[in-house]
Structure 1
Amino acid sequence: MAGSGTAHLRGEEALLSVQDLVVEYPTDAGTVQAVSKISFDVLAGETLGIVGESGCGKSTTGRAVLRLDRVTSGRIRFGEEWIEGASEKHMRSLRRDMQMIFQDPVSSLNPRRAVKDIVVEGMTIAGASSESREKASASVLEQVGLPGDRFANVLPRQLSGGQAQRVAIARALALEPRLLICDEPVSALDVSVQAQILNLIEELKTKFALTVVFIAHDLGVVRTVSDNVMVMYLGKVCEFGDSIEIYDDPAHPYTRALLDSVPLTDPEKAFAGPALAGDVPSPLAPPTGCRFRTRCPKAQDRCAEEEPEMREVRPGQFAACHFPLPSVTGRKNLFETVESEPAETEAVEIETGDTERGDTETGDTELVNADG
């Protein structure tokens, strides 16, 4: 897998454009490159789903776009402005248009403040009048299904998980953003509540003309909400394109393996395909060439020697793979199928212990499945 390149970018029409983004974290064991030269873009009104196993760099990517994590190198354009070098003071202003919803709704809320004050925290920082804050608070709470007469004076500890996430969404909407980044917004919620929150996000996206980056490890959720999908592995992008086409006709062996890991309803079949061999390598010492080659059933000598770059393998579908999968739906392949004996996949020694932040864990990982 694992490649760089910008062949899949769509130019100045994108509301958000990220080019060759690198995010590194120092640890006692060495430097972790959580995100390694990734590029992607999102057009106004689109939803981009970012999916991959734990530790692939999904959450770090979202935080870096808002400059909540330090950007080591690369470029980020929001609207017409390049923001990777913007001052923190200027970023505070820009974040009115760029909001984020976090994974754990309760811990993201101030435990000592009432709901009516939490949802207008951004407006308070921006210096909005008390009258405008009060009006906005009542309005956004109503929009997310939490009537102010019942919830305005409630504290976070009195909320259910679903209600707390609705408050977090209301807090983001109060600033009337153009871009909403959702970092695993339903993974901490009961299955019965997940659909309600997903439907709410979709309704609000349409109503407020939002552009959304939706980060998740649940393949089913990402397919439901996304126009385009970006698949990540060990800090790299492996595939980018239309959601339906990628799910129905993946071009990258890792994307295929993720889809094959989804449990089937037939208990005798268990999974759609065979499990991946080995474990995710340590981000402290990623493999040379293609980072997925140590687990890839199609790996060849070239994969260890040369990092694949993103290229268009089918119309509108891009993959970072020297030997992409042929179409199974009859779509035109823009590459020649190369028949060769696959190289043996290498045994991978896993470093134990946690890294300091983000989703860059180096401990044991399990295959992604539709149940999260």
Structure 2
Amino acid sequence: MDTPRPSASPLDRPAPDPAATPSGAAPAGSRSAGEILVDSELRRLVEAGSIRHHPDLPIRPQQIQPASMDLRLGRTAVRVRAGFLPTTVPIEERIQELGTSTLDLDGPEGAVLERGLVYLVQLEERLDLPADLAVRFNPRSSAGRCDVFTRVLSAGHPRFDEAPMGYSGPLWLEISPLSFPVRLRRGDRLCQLRVHRGSPGLSTDELRARYQETPLVFDGDRPLGVDEVRFDSDGGLELNLGLAGRDPAGWRASLHTEVVEFSAEGAHDPAHFWDPVHAPNGRCILAPESFYIFASRERLRIPPDLAAEMLPVDIGIGELRNNYAGFFDNGFGWREDKLCGTPAVLEVRAHDVPFLVEDGQVFFRLKFFRASARPERLYGQEREGQSYQGQDLTLARAFRR
């Protein structure tokens, strides 16, 4: 089993001073507190071998986004009886214990992953991180909007969707289609990574000061003032569900559908997979274990020097699971010539009992992070794979618009 090990950094930036605080993080508010690496630095990590790939499947330029990188499925999917966290038991041994069958993703037809089942796929990319860099993972929007639940496993690391500083080893993706059977192929991109040094998150005071300089949230075309938005205690903005003024107000996944051709853009009529959700009074009731697509009430605008991540709001009950896909790259909703922003699309699943939601209800929060530099290209600027710039209530790219 591969284990994390230190190695020299290919990037010419100093690591945070481990003595800055007892936890090893530098004081909040300083540049040394941390940063998210942008596209030019991700390419340098690939060139240096810190992000590796199979020899016959080189990294494609389209995989590298402003502050994240798409990862690709390998050759084989293994159906397992249950998901699991990595421990001292190698992932390969756990797969042998729990695996029931294998699917070939490398053929021309790929393979269909059935809804409600759990699969593991080794990713084409693997990591050999410098000692000062760590990684977080998130599903891509196209996977989240198809209700394909994913999470990344790193060998020997007992948390999902993380690779610790200096990690060297393979990556596995747990995949569970929850609403539709999905056809997948080797090379399909269901998840992405974000590389960070130190603790790049803005504090609440930093975010408030930045917001006064550059509005980040809009009501239509009107930027909301700093006193009109809610800041949480962890450097985030609380944002709301938008139901009023939209018809349909959302979409609900249909039951017993055909197979979704994941990589085929515009292949499907939405009416065969989705039922419209109407909210004439600005409210609707979510059915238990159904999957919904909604949009935020506000429009978001991420500046070139910041990245963001959507996080759920803890409302004190276990009735809702919202948003599988959380990364917002630099430039989302940003236009140099216009203050406007773009709504965030929300993936929502109710649990246990019917649950009433209303327009303007706090539904998620957006956490902001310092970027190491302005990316060479911002989100939506002539990049394949960025299908949602200017979106409103937009389904996954496999569905016609």
**Do they superpose with TM above 0.5?**
no
**Structure number with higher helix proportion:** 1
**Structure number with higher strand proportion:** 2
TM-score norm. by structure 1 comes to 0.30
